[in-house]
């Protein structure tokens, strides 16, 4: 591929494997498109798909996947730990190779317009594609979630950018935009007390006075009897994984709660892992250029 754009759509289904596979099929066997990764989480009741490709081919595949999700997912029957306002909740485009952020913004708007018209699915533009400052932050766009969409859309400042001015009856609405790569990183806590995980998340996230490029929330992993601080690191070069991990550990100490594990959702830039490995191993003057696979791919 000469030009490579990445897309990481999040779907509000993490339990029904048949539905997840049907949605993922939209990215299989398509020229100019490569399905890189996908996973579903039952507690969050959410799936994250990572796909890359030539911009035009990727656009068509993403539109197809959104249509399939609108057809298959009914949010009136949906329950899970993760906030959501749509069957397809968020669709970010990320420039990777020989494409600019401006091109990612244009692509996101083309997808948004098509989705709004073809599926009767309201679309909000967010992040770099946002049509207004108050729509840049995803959490602000999603506030009120699916259940609060009808009242929210009646407010002039929350009229959708594309599509109808009322929620899709079963699919809600979707946020589409362009952004830089982020790291979805979760830290598991040895307690089933969700209040503790929520309190810690408020301390580590930016709006609570924590790390500048960190969004966080507490999540209950009921099947495992533990909780989790679920984080999005929106600029891993400035808010490193190890810094987020250690701040969660520090805040957990005040409650006498141990960190019992961690996980990465989806794909992660090699540089982010190298930076964290260098920190914990105390490596001096180490860089990603010293990683064998990185040199082979040059």
Active site residues: 82
Query: Of 82, 141, 93, 87, which is closest to residue 119 (Cα–Cα)?
Result: 87
What's the DSSP call for residue 82? S
Q: Tally Cβ neighbours within 10 Å of residue 147.
A: 12
According to DSSP, the residues that pair with 88 across neighbouring strands are: 11
What's the DSSP call for residue 11? E
> How many residues appear in the chain?
298
CA distance 267 to 36: 8
* Token pair listed for 156: 């002039």
Cβ pair 75, 146 in contact under 8 A: yes
Q: Tally Cβ neighbours within 10 Å of residue 177.
A: 26
Cβ pair 214, 202 in contact under 8 A: no
CA distance 294 to 179: 24
CA distance 186 to 231: 6
In angstroms and rounded to an integer, the radius of gyration of the C-alpha atoms of the chain is 19
């Amino acid at each position: 591929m000469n030009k490579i754009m990445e897309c990481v759509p999040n779907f509000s289904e993490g339990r029904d494997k048949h539905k997840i596979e049907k949605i993922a099929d939209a990215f299989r066997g398509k020229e100019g498109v490569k399905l890189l990764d996908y996973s579903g989480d039952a507690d969050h009741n959410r799936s994250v798909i990572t796909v890359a490709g030539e911009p035009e081919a990727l656009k068509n595949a993403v539109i197809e996947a959104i249509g399939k999700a609108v057809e298959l997912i009914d949010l009136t029957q949906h329950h899970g730990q993760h906030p959501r306002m749509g069957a397809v909740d968020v669709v970010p485009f990320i420039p990777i190779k020989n494409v600019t952020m401006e091109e990612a913004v244009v692509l996101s708007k083309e997808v948004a317009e098509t989705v709004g018209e073809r599926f009767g699915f309201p679309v909000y533009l967010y992040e770099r594609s946002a049509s207004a400052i108050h729509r840049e932050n995803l959490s602000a766009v999603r506030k009120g979630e699916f259940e609060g969409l009808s009242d929210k859309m009646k407010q002039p400042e929350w009229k959708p950018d594309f599509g109808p001015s009322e929620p899709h009856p079963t699919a809600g609405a979707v946020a589409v935009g362009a952004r830089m790569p982020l790291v979805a990183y979760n830290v598991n806590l040895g307690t089933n007390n969700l209040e503790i995980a929520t309190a810690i998340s408020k301390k580590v996230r930016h709006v609570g006075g924590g790390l500048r490029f960190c969004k966080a929330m507490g999540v209950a992993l009921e099947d495992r009897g533990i909780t989790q601080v679920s984080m999005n690191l929106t600029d891993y070069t400035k808010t490193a994984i190890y810094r987020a991990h250690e701040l969660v550990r520090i805040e957990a100490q005040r409650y006498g709660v141990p960190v019992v594990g961690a996980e990465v959702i989806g794909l992660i830039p090699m540089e982010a892992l190298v930076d964290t490995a260098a920190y914990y191993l105390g490596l001096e003057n180490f860089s990603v250029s010293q990683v064998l696979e990185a040199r082979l791919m040059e």
